[in-house]
């Protein structure tokens, strides 16, 4: 699932590519993605000008004229693309740019917004869990899933981080991924920052010392900023808006490196089950 670095990369690129454009129409073949009534979606999206694009946690907010906001949550496998496609019957055929054509991960286009310069904004989503909502600014700002978000992982100050995390009873990895505690972090970067901070993923959050909280806070910023610089992680489906892979996977420390050597001490990285997810860690550097 795209996390803060991937979503921010998408938002930065969208601001360069689609701001100022007008949406001339919409096409989709999987209506369930769109959470607002379909007829209203088509009517309300048409003719809107794109004003700016922002990230809120892992959500992409596209601000439109007429005080509307289009929200895209990419969920498991969704990613936004900008390019050109040809629709022939049930087939969506990519025409440009080249990475969208060559990389099979970009083939699952189920929603297209047509722009007034001939370009298109598309949602490719293999597993079809992505969510799109169109509503007035007032309606969107009151959506429970947006209102309940905790402070952003890149913006939170240490004092707030300490107060939020230090009082939770759950396992630290789970608290880091809890969007109502801190927002933006998921499975990949929680593994990475815990390894950097030398903290076991199962350690209860409220048992972390002041020093461990400080280390974790600085590891969080360091890992997220590094990943943002490298344009995210593409171990599974994530691609940027031109269909290209991010480069963080090449330098990752532990995520999906089970049975590889720890870069710090040479011990084999372990994978353990945690709820429905997995945690990857070094049993020697990250003691419980």
Positions annotated as catalytic residues are 2-3, 58, 277
Nearest to 92 by CA among 64, 112, 78: 112
Helix (H, G, I), strand (E, B) or coil at 253: coil
* Tokens linked to 263: 């870069």
49's tokens: 């000008």
What count of residues does the chain have?
288
Span of 78-86, 182-190, 249-257, 261-269 interacting with Zn ion by CB under 5 A = 261-269
Residue 236 corresponds to which tokens in the numbers above? Answer: 């599974």
Q: Which is nearer to Zn ion, 216 or 285 (CB)?
A: 285
198 scored as a contact of Zn ion (CB under 5 A): no
Q: How many CB atoms are located within 10 Å of the residue 149 CB?
A: 18
Residue 285 preceded by cis peptide, ω within 30: no
Give the integer Cα–Cα distance in Å for 260 and 78: 29
Binding Zn ion by CB under 5 A: which of 264, 272, 274, 277? 264
Task: Using the Cα atoms of residue 109, residue 186, residue 270 and residue 232 in order, give the sign of their dihedral.
Answer: positive
Q: Which residue among 121, 140, 213, 282 contacts Zn ion (CB under 5 A)? A: 282
Based on the shown chain and the rule CB under 5 A, indicate whether residue 262 belongs to the binding site for Zn ion.
yes
Binding residue for Zn ion (CB under 5 A) from 95, 265, 268, 288? Answer: 265
Using rule CB under 5 A, residue 197 touches Zn ion: no
Under rule CB under 5 A, residue 208 binds Zn ion: no
Stretch that binds Zn ion, among 75-83, 166-174, 176-184, 279-287 (CB under 5 A): 279-287
Q: Minimum Å distance from CB 16 to Zn ion? A: 40
Specify the residue, 112 or 285, whose C-beta has the smaller distance to Zn ion.
Answer: 285
Closest CA to 243 of 60, 9, 56, 20: 9
Query: Of the ranges 118-126, 155-163, 210-218, 256-264, which one interacts with Zn ion (CB under 5 A)?
Result: 256-264
Nearer to Zn ion, 78 or 201 (CB): 201
Applying CB under 5 A, the residues found at the interface with Zn ion are 262, 264-265, 267, 282, 284-285
């Amino acid at each position: 699932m795209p996390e803060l670095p991937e979503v921010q990369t998408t938002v930065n690129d969208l601001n360069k590519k689609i701001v100022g454009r007008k949406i001339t129409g919409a096409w989709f073949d999987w209506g369930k993605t769109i959470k607002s009534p379909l007829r209203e979606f088509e009517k309300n999206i048409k003719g809107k000008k794109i004003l700016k694009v922002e990230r809120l946690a892992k959500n992409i907010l596209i601000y439109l004229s007429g005080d509307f906001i289009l929200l895209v949550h990419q969920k498991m496998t969704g990613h936004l693309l900008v390019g050109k496609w040809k629709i022939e019957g049930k087939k969506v055929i990519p025409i440009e740019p080249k990475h969208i054509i060559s990389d099979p991960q970009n083939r699952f286009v189920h929603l297209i917004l047509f722009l007034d310069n001939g370009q298109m904004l598309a949602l490719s989503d293999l597993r079809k869990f992505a969510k799109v909502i169109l509503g007035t600014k007032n309606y969107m700002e009151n959506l429970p899933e947006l209102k309940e978000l905790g402070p952003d992982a890149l913006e939170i100050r240490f004092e707030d981080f300490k107060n939020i995390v230090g009082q939770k009873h759950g396992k630290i990895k789970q608290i880091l991924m809890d969007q109502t505690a801190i927002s933006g972090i998921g499975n990949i970067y929680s593994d990475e920052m815990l390894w950097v901070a030398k903290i076991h993923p199962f350690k209860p959050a409220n048992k972390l010392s002041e020093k461990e909280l400080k280390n974790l806070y600085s590891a969080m910023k360091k890992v997220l900023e590094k990943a943002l610089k490298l344009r995210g992680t593409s171990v599974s489906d994530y691609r940027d808006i031109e269909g290209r892979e991010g480069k963080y996977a090449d330098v990752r420390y532990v995520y999906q490196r089970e049975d590889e050597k720890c870069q710090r001490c040479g011990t084999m990285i372990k994978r353990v089950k945690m709820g429905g997810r997995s945690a990857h860690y070094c049993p020697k550097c990250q003691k419980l």
